[in-house]
A and B are shown apart, each in its own frame.
Chain A
Amino acid sequence: MMQRLVSVWHARNLEFLRDRATMIFTLLLPIMLVVGMGFVFGGKERPLFKVGVITQSLDKRAHPFLSERYVEFVPIANQAEGLRKVTHQQVDLLLDLHGAPRYWVNTDSPKGYIVEKLLIASAPDAHREPVTGAAVRYVDYLFPGILGMNMMFSCLFGVGYVVLRYRKNGFLKRLHATPLTAFEFLSAQVLSRLGLILFVTIVLYVGIGAIIHFHNAGSVALLLLLAILGALSMVALGLTIAAQFSSEEVVGGLLNLLTWPMMLLSGIWFSLEGSPQWVRWVASIFPLTHVLDAARAVMLDGAGIAQIASDLVYLGVTAVVFLAFGAWSFRWRYD
């Protein structure tokens, strides 16, 4: 089995590496995108203007301050998460209305200073807890999103169309006449694409990270593990779609149907905090959401493996499920 898998994997690598146009496009597009983003956002600080409230569901009647105009209130599940967000200035102030009002404000945040004045006007007796910490620049927030987006496109479109081309030109039919199984073929495609994606992602991480002076607060090895599982899950998802269709239109349509919601809802560009519950539920289905949530937790907050374990498990399980389904429904012939 391994010999057959390695044989197909090696040939696919050669095919990709010699296809210069595709190679250049694969590398150039994300570099241009991130450099552009870095240029636009790199020098400016654009902290999000929000007040976090420690509660499961927000009830504006709980305190007059919650009815202030021009302030966005977002529910935060627990104090630890809220403090992390205040420290990174992802919220400008954290409010706890359980019992006597308490709040945490980042003394390094200009917006926190203003929001604090508004709070004191409504709740003069609220207990103050100062914290400090630099704001997370938008480009820092965006950086994992761009890496993840590039990974998503490369995973879904990169393998989907290759398999479709193989099916249409009869190469798959020829492979079907050999002892190679669908699972071995798909695994070889997944591993070949995985190698490429990891290479590109590492190049982008190092290169763009240097350009925007990004500092990773967590473990690089953990990020690598996350990238491997995320890429495996998304490549397998792409193969599942390409496994059974023979029409570019159908496959293109289905891939677009997947990528656009992921683009909008997985948190590439902005956080989904404060959005309706059903939106967050839909977003949680996408592998990219788990990649980005975990990547940001590691890169911005220094999270360890325990904090992102659920994301890693989700990605690993979906990779296996997608690959198994793809192998089960795989069609070798173009009819």
Chain B
Amino acid sequence: MSETILEVRNLVKHYSAVIAVNGISLAVPEGMCFGLLGPNGAGKTTTIEIMEGILEATSGEVRYRGAPLDQRFREEAGILFQKTALQDFLTVRQSIRMFRGLYQSGLEVEEVIRLCALEKLADRDNRKLSGGQQQRLLLAIALVNDPKLLFLDEPTTGLDPQARRNFWELIQSIKARRKTIILTTHYMEEAELLCDEIAIVDGGRIIAQGPPRRLLHEHFAEVMLELPRNDFPARARELPLQVIDTPERVEITTDDLDRTLRLLIDSHVPLANLRIRPANLEDLFLKLTGKELRT
């Protein structure tokens, strides 16, 4: 088993009367991509910023390779915040070079530029980049020190679908370099695609943790049937089905598809818009909290 690179014990963070993080503990083994999954306001960013040493916890502790966060941690960690501005008037290359100068060791500037596919943008003013390009630059900056541990806080929020997919490919190529990655996200596809293990966070607490497939397997032996709410009459609610309501649709969880379909047909529920799919992390979150991830 890999050595634990980062460990968090009983983390609590209060903002006046608000409890943003309420007793989170976790351990991240070296080489793993670990995801904190949860809706906005769940406490993901507060948790990751305490893990990064940017925020101070009200109580609890964070240990990097068994020791409190120190100068070694700063030399070996790479961070991509949710929102970061860079210095005005600097080109992409100059911005990367500036950050490279802050570390004792790391990658060559040109290598980082290649790694993040920024070759054609290297001499462009960093303010004149699109959202996806800007994120690639910030990722490049997070990689200049060739970090052992990389924090990515909602790295694809605000990107269009194509830019998001490109960014995922980039992160997968970094994963292939055996980097430990801790990322927060509220995109279930992102967590499913990138993370070896996830912790689902809600109300400042971890409500489930484990590899995505194992979590889904533990909570869902079933498939999901989705119907528009308007197609699901009141009489159908009396059927012996496990139904979850969302604002636009009803979701029926079942391990006996034939029987469920028969029940719906017998109740004259229109099935023209029926969709059948396997359960995903969104369903898991909904099942555990009764809320949707993207709220």
Contact = CB atoms under 8 A, between A and B. Distances in A.
B191 to A, nearest CB: 23
A171 B77 CA distance: 17
Nearest to B88: A15
A169 B127 CA distance: 13
Interface in A156-203: 166, 169-171, 173-180
B102 A178 contact: yes
B101 A14 contact: no
Interface of A: 3-4, 6-8, 10-12, 14-15, 18-19, 166, 169-171, 173-180, 332-333
Interface string B54-79: 10000000000000000100110101
Nearest to B72: A179
**Lowest 7 CB-CB distances: which A-B pairs, in order?**
A7-B101, A169-B85, A18-B89, A11-B98, A177-B79, A178-B102, A179-B74
Chain A interface main SS type:
helix
B99 A171 contact: no
Contact of B102 (A4, A12, A332): A4
Say which size band chain B's interface belongs to: 20 to 34
Interface in B83-101: 83-90, 94-95, 97-101
Contacts of A166: 87
A331 to B, nearest CB: 12
A83 B185 CA distance: 78
Contacts of A15: 87-90
Contacts of A7: 97-102
Contact of B87 (A171, A176, A333): A171
A7 B85 CA distance: 17
A178 B99 contact: yes
Contacts, number: 76
Interface of B: 52-54, 71, 74-75, 77, 79, 81, 83-90, 94-95, 97-104, 141
Contacts of A177: 52-54, 74, 77, 79, 81
Contact of B103 (A14, A179, A333): A179
Contacts of B87: 11-12, 14-15, 166, 171
Given A11-B98, A14-B94, A179-B74, A171 B89 contact: no
A171 B90 CA distance: 13
Contacts of A3: 101-102, 104
20 contacts: A3-B101, A3-B102, A7-B100, A11-B90, A11-B94, A14-B94, A15-B90, A18-B89, A19-B89, A171-B85, A171-B86, A173-B54, A174-B86, A175-B102, A176-B54, A177-B53, A177-B54, A177-B74, A179-B71, A179-B103
Contacts of B86: 171, 174
B81 A14 contact: no
B100 to A, nearest CB: 8
Contacts of B88: 15, 18-19
B94 A170 contact: no
Contacts of B71: 179
Contacts of A173: 54, 81, 84
B81 A174 contact: yes
A174 B87 CA distance: 11
Given A14-B94, A333-B54, A170 B83 contact: yes
A169 to B, nearest CB: 4
A6 B84 CA distance: 22
Contact of A14 (B84, B89, B102): B89
B27 to A, nearest CB: 22
Contacts of A18: 88-89
A11 B141 CA distance: 14
A333 B102 CA distance: 19
Contacts of A4: 101-102
Given A18-B89, A177-B77, A171 B94 contact: no
Residue of A8, A14, A178 ringed by the most chain B CB atoms within 10 A: A178
A171 B95 CA distance: 12
Contacts of A6: 101
B85 A170 contact: yes
Contacts of A169: 85
Contacts of B81: 170, 173-174, 177
A15 B87 CA distance: 7
Contacts of A170: 81, 83-85
A53 B86 CA distance: 61
B102 A180 contact: yes
Contacts of A175: 102
B31 to A, nearest CB: 22
Specify which of A12, A174, A332 lies most central, judged by the most chain B CB atoms within 10 Å of its CB: A174
A169 B87 CA distance: 10
B155 to A, nearest CB: 14
B140 to A, nearest CB: 13
B103 A178 contact: yes
B122 to A, nearest CB: 15
A180 B98 CA distance: 12
A7 B145 CA distance: 14
A10 B71 CA distance: 23
A333 B83 CA distance: 13
Contacts of B94: 11, 14
A245 to B, nearest CB: 19
Contacts of B84: 170-171, 173-174
B84 to A, nearest CB: 5
